[in-house]
Structure 1
Amino acid sequence: MSSSKERTSGGRGRTTGSVLSGLVVAVGCVLFLGGFVWGALLYRPYTVPTDSMAPTIGVGDRVLAEQVDGAEIRRGDVVVFRDSVWGNVPMVKRVVGVGGDTVACCSKDGRLTLNGKPVEEPYLQAAGPASPTGFSSKVPAGRLFLLGDHRNDSLDSRTHLKDGDHGAVPRSAVDARVDARAWPLGSMGMVERPAGFAAMPGGTSQPGPVRTIVIAVVVGAVMILGGAAYGPLARRMGRKGRESG
């Protein structure tokens, strides 16, 4: 009697539980596949070949970078860019100055200064001065001044100060903004926006939806596995019930 009540009105022997499990699997597929498609449309993976961004990004790390317009870039962002003067290959550096800024190093306590004000840079590779060599640059309008986090081992805007445009690259050279480290497993995590630039004009940028995408994919996978496991578990429990009866 009880088994007939559990059957659906369609008369095909499907129980309410099996219908719900199918629905869970369907929703899980939407979340799982939708998350992957969403991520593929917005993000591109890049492998960082050097340690110039250590410790934020290690040599060989794989990062996820959101494709954005160069006009959206703010101070503190880690960006992937190409510039013919720098070799026209994808490079990853941190933006420390935008058009109109004067970037210099170092202050009396060894810090980078932006428009004469020292900047806190907790992401740097090691203690000590923010740059082993002193420099000063007035960033032209529409350009970005870029430095590596490992200042002792980074070829960046300091290297190109005499190449024209005071070592800065055009905003149009930016391909993407790095949001997260994806590989290896031990280094997975978000690339946080530094607080040292937050109070400056323009503030810092907001992270892209990579965290939401990851959550959607993980939840979708759990729902698919959970829903798919219902059928075998229900049949096994049914057999045990009949045997005990």
Structure 2
Amino acid sequence: MSGTKVRTSGGHARTMGSVLSGLAVAVGCVLFLGGFIWGAALYRPYTVPTDSMAPTIGVGARVLAQQVDGSEVRRGDVVVFRDSVWGDVPMVKRVVGVGGDKVACCDAGGKLTVNGKPVEEPYLQGDGPASPVGFKAEVPKGQLFLLGDHRSDSMDSRVHLTDRDNGAVPRSAVDARVDANAWPVGSFGMLERPSGFSGLPGGISQPGPLRPIMAAIVAGAVLILGGAAYGPIVNRRRRARV
């Protein structure tokens, strides 16, 4: 293929390989830059300063969260929100109840219940009950009941039960939904949607487009590097044959 020549509009002969390598670099740039622009339009990084979401999200970890409207949030989602009663700073918690739900803990098996149904929560820190202190609340319409995954070290809806709306926060307080751990490198990966809430009305949400965004960026980088490397590789082979 490298020996096949094509002629450009200027009359200069180029090998088919060099044409394809240039095309690969061009396509790679589109994918790489397009992926970054797409990601920047939808996602924001957040730092989680406490271990209230451990082990799902460690203390000091950076997460990528898709900007969503609060109406899109479902049970099981990990969300970034801001509420004046909670301190009016960005916080990260998991939604365990939505408007109309009756949330309680714990049943005879030590599990959280939503509308009387026990919920499997494999993401929790430790092997004990779903909460070290018992509680129950009815979530007002348009509100969300939020808990940390590290239930023995999380300031969440349980603490605010008597403050307002049975500890719930308005859906409008939600800024984003966490899709992945980004830092440290060893923790990088998508956050799975918990199946324990899938049998409840409304089901669980679907992941955002982070996977295809990352695929576009990686594919673009590979094409750029591969296309750029073509010329030096061919020249080296030619020198080796001389």
Q: Same fold (TM over 0.5)?
A: yes
User: In structure 2, what is the equivalent of residue 38 of structure 1?
Assistant: 38
What secondary structure is seen at the aligned counterpart in 2 of 1:65? strand
Instruction: Give the 5 Å matches for 1:23-34.
Output: 23-34=23-34
Partner of 1:137: 137
Aligned to 2:236: 236
Ranges of 4+ aligned residues in structure 1 off by more than 4 Å: none
Amino acid at match of 1:38: W
Give distance in 2, aligned partners of 1:196 and 1:17.
53
Give the structure 2 partner of residue 204 of structure 1. Answer: 204
CA distance in 2 between partners of 1:118 and 1:199 (Å): 11
Secondary structure of 1:23's aligned partner: helix
Measured in 2, the distance between the counterparts of 1:187 and 1:72 equals: 26
Q: Distance in 1 between matches of 2:8 and 2:23?
A: 17
Report the counterpart of residue 109 of structure 2 in structure 1: 109
Supply the distance in 1 between the matched residues of 2:28 and 2:6 (Cα, whole angstroms): 24
Identical amino acids, percent of aligned pairs: 74
1:77 aligned partner, one-letter code: D
Name the SS of the counterpart of 1:14 in structure 2. strand
Q: 1:222 maps to which residue?
A: 222
Equivalent pair of 1:8/1:16 in contact (CA under 8 Å): no
CA distance in 2, matches of 1:215, 1:52: 31
Quote the residue 1:99 is aligned against.
99
Q: CA deviation at 1:9?
A: 4.7
Structure 2: distance between partners of 1:9 and 1:84: 65
Q: Kindly provide the amino acid, as one letter, of the partner of residue 167 in structure 2.
A: G
What does residue 166 of structure 1 align with? 166
When structure 1 is superposed on structure 2, of 167-176 and 13-22 the one drifting more is: 13-22
Deviations along 1:58-96, one digit per CA (max 9) or x if unpaired, are 001100000000000000000000000000000000000
**Structure 2 counterpart of 1:127, which letter?**
D
Q: Which amino acid aligns with 1:103?
A: V
Residue equivalent to 1:193: 193
**Structure 1 stretches of 5 or more lacking a match?**
none
Aligned to 1:128: 128
What do residues 140-185 of structure 1 show as CA deviations (whole Å, max 9, x unaligned)?
0000000000000000000000001000000000000000001111
| Equivalent residue number for residue 7 of structure 2 | 8
Partners of 2:238 and 2:140 lie apart in 1 by 74
Structure 2 gap segments, 5+ residues each: none
Q: Name the CA distance, whole Å, in 2 between partners of 1:121 and 1:52.
A: 15
Amino acid at match of 1:13: A
Deviation at 1:14, TM superposition (A): 1.9
For 1:74, the aligned partner's letter is: R
Shift of 1:195: 0.4
TM superposition shift of 1:7: 4.1
Q: 1:238 to 1:7 in 2, by over 3 A?
A: farther
Q: Which residue in the other structure is 1:155 paired with?
A: 155
CA distance, structure 2, for counterparts of residue 136 and residue 7 of structure 1 = 75
Query: How far, CA to CA, are the matches of 1:7 and 1:107 in structure 2?
Result: 75
Distance 1:164 1:9 in 2: 72
Cα deviation, residue 13, structure 1: 3.0
Residues in 2 aligned to 1:204 and 1:109: alpha-carbon distance in whole angstroms: 24
Corresponding position of 1:85: 85
- State the Cα RMSD in Å: 1.1
Q: Which amino acid aligns with 2:36?
A: F
**Structure 2 length as normaliser, TM-score?**
0.97
Aligned letter for 1:59? Answer: V
Distance in 2 (CA, whole Å) between partners of 1:134 and 1:57 is: 24
Q: Distance in 1 between matches of 2:163 and 2:125?
A: 26
- CA offsets, 1:183-224, max 9 Å, x none? 111000001000000111000000000011011101100100
